[in-house]
Every structure is written in structure tokens, then in C-alpha cells.
Amino acid sequence: MSDKQYSCPSCSGDVEPHWRACPHCGKKLTGDPDTWGRAQAEDEEVAAGVGSRATAARDWWGRRQRWLQIGLVLLALFLVAPIFAGGCDESTVADVTTPTAEVIEVAAPSTTTEGLTTTTARPTSTEPPTTTTTESGFDVELVRVVDGDTIEARMPDGSVESVRYIGIDTPESVHPSEPVEYMGPEASAYNQRLMEEGPLHLEFDVQERDKYGRLLAYVWAGDVFVNRRLVLDGYAQVSTYPPNVKHESEFLDAQEKARTAVVGLWAPTTTIAPPTSQPPAAEPAVLTVHITKTGEKYHAAGCRYLSKSDIPVSLAEAKARGLGP
């Protein structure tokens, strides 16, 4: 028996080179015995090649399917996301309520000046607060209210600046050389009230400071445009100086509304009419003298001749009796 192993080309069973037929499958063994197993090997190689290509094809198809699934999921998310985003926006918008016009009340004290009493009607806001967004400037912290159109504020760097409102003018209330003007204290109190509307923000125009070195600004307290609100509610008049005229048209419109509504400075005042006649002249005083029961003269009080008898009478009566001095 040969040490070399041979196999049947048909069933791959073990055979010997001198056999003429395969004892396993009965097929005839022909040709060179050295080639009997080569066909099978070649077939196995072909089968192996086909198998590897099939495996690669299956792997490629599996990867294609996975990427296709991922692409479909991303496409679905892309299509559905705007719907959810739109739904959130609508609910957010639905929750927003329109701000109502706020009525700002300030006590109306009576001011008495040299006999003339004037009472200011308590003004009310004629429209809701302005909600325009400022384009420039920075936030500050209130230090104190100086008067109706001036405040002191702490800047972002920590310094304190005097801030004068641009485009408006309120009556004087703290000027060192001028008297307190009509509606001055009320304008100052109303300015203090507006400072409580929210965080302060300064907006600037072309010219930064006035001749006194004060910072010139449009002042916002939250959503309230303070400069315009003072004019709108009758506590200030429009007073613009070029080149700072950015909001002049807004101020003029607010002033016309205040004038039409007859509020604040535009409200009628109570006056006292001057007297129509002179007061009656005072009656002359009556001069009193003193006489005695038997004397023929009249005397002044305390005279030594009155020690025994002292009768007070008017000078006219004494003369009527014929008495002399």
C-alpha cells in the first residue's frame, strides 16, 4: 500500500492508485491517480471562492441596509422636528399675555404761594408702556433721583455720574438760585416712581455731555421709556437741542396726547380773584380825659388834682361842658 493518500474524484473517499473502481460510490477510477484529488481540491477552492464572495456580498448588503435604516430615521427626524418646534412656539405665544395699560398714581399735594392755592389733578397714563428695544448704551444702577429730569447713576466701571434726560424739561424743584416751580415736586416724585419699573438702561445720542458735564441719555426703566413717559403723563415738556434729536418726533407726539388729555402741566389750575373794593377805613380812636366834681378844667390821667375826685369823660364831652385844659 502506498503512503500517499488518494481520494475518489466523485465522493472523496480514500482509494488506492491500483483500484479501478471506488469501493465507496462505485464510480470507475480512470486517468492518472495523482489527478484524482486535484479536481476536488479545485472544486473546493472554487467553492471556497464562491463562499467568500457570497459572504462579502452578504456583509455589503447588511451594511447597506443599516445605512438605509439610519438615513430613514434621520429623514424622519428632519421632517418631524419643525412640527414639534412649531408646536412649542405656538404654546409659548399662547401663554404670552398682552400687557395692560398701567395707571401710575402720584399723590397730588396742594401748593400754597402768597395766598394762591393750586391743586394738580392726579394724572393717569394715556397708553401702555413703551416696549421699544434700545440699540446702544449700557445698564446702570440708580443712586438717587435729583429732580424730574435728572438722576445720579452708578456706571459699569463703578463711577457715579449725573445723568440729564435728553429732549425734555421738567419744572424746577431743587435749583439753588431759582424758586420751586409749579408741578416741580410732583415731577420729581413721578420720576422716582418710574425708577421702580425695572432695571435702568441708558441710551445715547450724538452729543454725550452738556455744558455742565452731565451725561446726556435716554433712560429706560425696564420696558418704560422714562423720557417719553414724563412727557406723555404731563410732567415734562419737549425741549430738544440738536444734534440730540433721535426721539424728537416721539416726544412731540406724546406731548400732543398729554395736551389733548388735559393732564399734568396741561390741566387747568384754581385761581383766586382779586378784591373788587377797598376795606373800610378804621374809625378814629376816642380820646379820654379826666375831670373832678367841682373843677372847671379837664386833666390827663394821673394828674395830682385828681386825688379826691376822678371822673373819666371823652374830650368832646369835656369841651361840651365848657371845661378847658
181 as an active site residue: the answer is no
Q: Which of 197, 214, 248, 259 is catalytic?
A: 214
Q: Provide the residue type at 84 as one letter.
A: F
Q: How many Å apart are CA 7 and CA 274, to the nearest integer? A: 146
Q: How many Å apart are CA 269 and CA 274, to the nearest integer? A: 16
Residue 118 DSSP SS3: strand
Q: How many Å apart are CA 49 and CA 31, to the nearest integer? A: 27
172 as an active site residue: the answer is yes
Q: How many Å apart are CA 200 and CA 156, to the nearest integer? A: 12
Q: Which 3-state string (H, E, C) describes 192-261?
A: HHHHHHCCEEEECCCCCECCCCCEEEEEEECCEEHHHHHHHCCCCEECCECCECCCHHHHHHHHHHHHHH
Burial 71-88 (b: 16+ CB within 10 A, else e): eeeeeeeeeeeeeeeeee
Q: Which of 172, 186, 203, 250 is catalytic?
A: 172
Q: Are 20 and 33 in contact (CB under 8 A)?
A: no
DSSP H or E segment with residue 14: strand 14-15
How many other CB atoms are found less than 10 A from the CB of residue 123? 26
144 as an active site residue: the answer is no
Show which residues are catalytic: 164, 172, 214
